Amino acid sequence: MINTQQSIGVFDSGYGGLTVFKSIVNKLPDYNYIYLGDNGRAPYGDRSFDTIYQYTLECVEWLFAQNCPLVILACNTASAKALRSIQQNILPNKYPGYRVLGVIRPTAEIVGDFTKSNVVGVMGTRGTVNSESYLMEIDHFFPNVKVVQQSCPMWVPLIENNEHLEPGADYFVKEYVAELLAKDAHIDCIILACTHYPLLIPKIKEFLPNGIDLLGQDDIVADSLVSYLERHPEIAGQLGKAAIRAFYTSGDPRAFDASASIFFGETVNSNRVDLKL
């Protein structure tokens, strides 16, 4: 165990969750956090349901073992493929008192406030898009909103390899945006339904017509965590507040630190973790 004080665990397949983590620490700076990026096995997006579930569960159990009673899956693919099974099958039997939260529901809960046309685009990994989680969750809260999806399988690899702002990325950004917009002319709001994608915002905007909003999840998820902790003092009260932030990666820590320091906006010193428990 790394920390003796309890921390909030934040998990992503790689760097993407840092976009959410940054907003969380801005809004809740006092808590202790452990960020885990499974960079060694990223991207998750094209992997099978079973593999994503297995990898996500391993990472969640690793965070539990580091004294994190609350874990945020800052990853849409993991939220789409693993969250429900972990919440329903694993927590009650093996980890009562532990909590795991995802990113899809908080986004679905508010998206209706951002569209006037009631046509919303969702850009995500193949795993997220094929799960149809956004269709179901948004329909639950806003049955009048039409959801149009686009998978963007090249975007996470570009970001994980720090090539996303290079000229070579233009083709794939332009192509996926055009494919989405061709599906419905009334889209006025696009959910970036992958926590990696905010890193591409400058490029996406180059290829987006005026009048279409881009909705990232960083503040949405952070606001939802603030509200969750207010509503659950029994969880909030367990958490240490020494403002300790620790970073772990299953990939190369030096590569992680170089990219993560840019994405997170602070110097990051990570440690390598071997995820086999």
User: Out of 6, 7, 13, 249, which residue is the one contacting ligand DGL (CB under 6 A)?
Assistant: 13
CA-based R_g, the chain, Å:
18
CB nearer ligand DGL, residue 46 or residue 223:
46
Q: How far is the CB of 233 from ligand DGL (least distance, A)?
A: 29
Residues 198-237 interacting with ligand DGL (rule: CB under 6 A): none
CB nearer ligand DGL, residue 104 or residue 187:
104
**Residues annotated as part of the active site:** 75, 194
- How many residues touch ligand DGL under the rule CB under 6 A: the total is 17
8 near ligand DGL (CB under 6 A)? no
Q: How far is the CB of 166 from ligand DGL (least distance, A)?
A: 19
Contact 76, 190 (CB under 8 A): no
CB nearer ligand DGL, residue 47 or residue 245:
47
What are the φ and ψ backbone dihedral angles of 11, each rounded to 5 degrees? -125, 140
> Which has the closest alpha carbon to 122: 156, 148, 96?
148
User: Out of 59, 71, 72, 75, which residue is the one contacting ligand DGL (CB under 6 A)?
Assistant: 75
Q: How far is the CB of 93 from ligand DGL (least distance, A)?
A: 27
Distance CA 160, CA 195 (A): 12
Task: With both helix axes pointing from N to C terminus, report the angle between 218-231 and 17-27 in degrees, rounded to the nearest 10.
Answer: 50
Distance CA 89, CA 74 (A): 20
Write out the two tokens for 205.
Answer: 């905007």
CA angle 139, 191, 136 (to 5 degrees): 20
Sheet holding 146-151, edge to edge: 146-151, 119-124, 189-192, 213-215
Residues 94-133 interacting with ligand DGL (rule: CB under 6 A): 125, 128
User: Out of 9, 37, 43, 253, which residue is the one contacting ligand DGL (CB under 6 A)?
Assistant: 43
196 near ligand DGL (CB under 6 A)? yes
Contact range with ligand DGL by CB under 6 A, out of 8-16, 169-177, 201-209, 225-233? 8-16
CB nearer ligand DGL, residue 14 or residue 253:
14
Return the sign of the alpha-carbon dihedral for residues 11, 193, 80, 98.
positive
> Which has the closest alpha carbon to 132: 80, 195, 183, 180?
80
150 near ligand DGL (CB under 6 A)? no
Residues 6+ apart with CB under 8 A from 137: 104, 105, 107, 108
Q: How far is the CB of 78 from ligand DGL (least distance, A)?
A: 7
CB nearer ligand DGL, residue 109 or residue 238:
109
Positions touching ligand DGL (CB under 6 A) are 12-14, 16, 42-45, 75-77, 125, 128, 156, 194-196
